[in-house]
């Protein structure tokens, strides 16, 4: 999956692209390193999943518009309003595409027992 999708939002069919621009945007939204922002988004998800998904929609729009060097015709406030009245299936698509792109799905599935043990150096008995 390349992180590109299209959804109906704001009365139009819009492209979202989860790429490095989207990662940087999510980091800026949360005031964190882009890699840490994904973990923060998952924490917000448990409090208000629509707020978290709206942040993803905004990040995906930014990813597409920046990568394609297109003039933006939306604001963060617009995106929040659009998400309030969006199709649930589109929001699920956004979340699942981001999960696949960001590899958060792999982190969620990994349990502590799945991590390889470090080899010890020194004497052996």
pLDDT band, very low/low/confident/very high, at 75 (cuts 50, 70, 90): very high
Task: For residue 103, give every residue at least 6 positions away whose Cβ sits within 8 Å of its Cβ, in sequence order, or none.
Answer: none
**Structural contact between residues 54 and 10, judged by C-beta atoms closer than 8 angstroms:** no
pLDDT band, very low/low/confident/very high, at 74 (cuts 50, 70, 90): very high
Backbone angles phi, psi at 82, to 5 degrees: -60, -40
Q: How many CB atoms lie within 10 A of CB 44?
A: 15
Q: What pLDDT is recorded for position 122?
A: 54
Closest CA to 26 of 62, 1, 2, 50: 62
Task: For residue 80, give every residue at least 6 positions away whose Cβ sits within 8 Å of its Cβ, in sequence order, or none.
Answer: 54
The reply to whether the predicted model has a pTM over 0.85 is no
Spatial distance between the Cα atoms of 30 and 28, rounded to a whole number of angstroms: 5
**Structural contact between residues 10 and 82, judged by C-beta atoms closer than 8 angstroms:** yes
Chain mean position to CA 41? 8
């Amino acid at each position: 999956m390349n992180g590109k999708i299209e959804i109906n939002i704001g009365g139009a069919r819009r492209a979202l692209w989860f790429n490095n621009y989207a990662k940087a945007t999510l980091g800026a939204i949360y005031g964190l390193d882009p890699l840490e922002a994904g973990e923060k988004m998952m924490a917000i998800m448990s409090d208000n999943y629509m707020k978290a998904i709206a942040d993803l929609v905004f990040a995906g729009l930014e990813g597409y518009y920046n990568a394609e060097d297109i003039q933006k015709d939306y604001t963060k406030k617009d995106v929040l309003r659009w998400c309030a009245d969006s199709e649930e299936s589109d929001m699920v698509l956004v979340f699942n595409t981001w999960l696949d792109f960001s590899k958060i799905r792999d982190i969620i599935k990994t349990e502590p027992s799945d991590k390889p043990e470090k080899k010890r150096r020194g004497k052996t008995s």
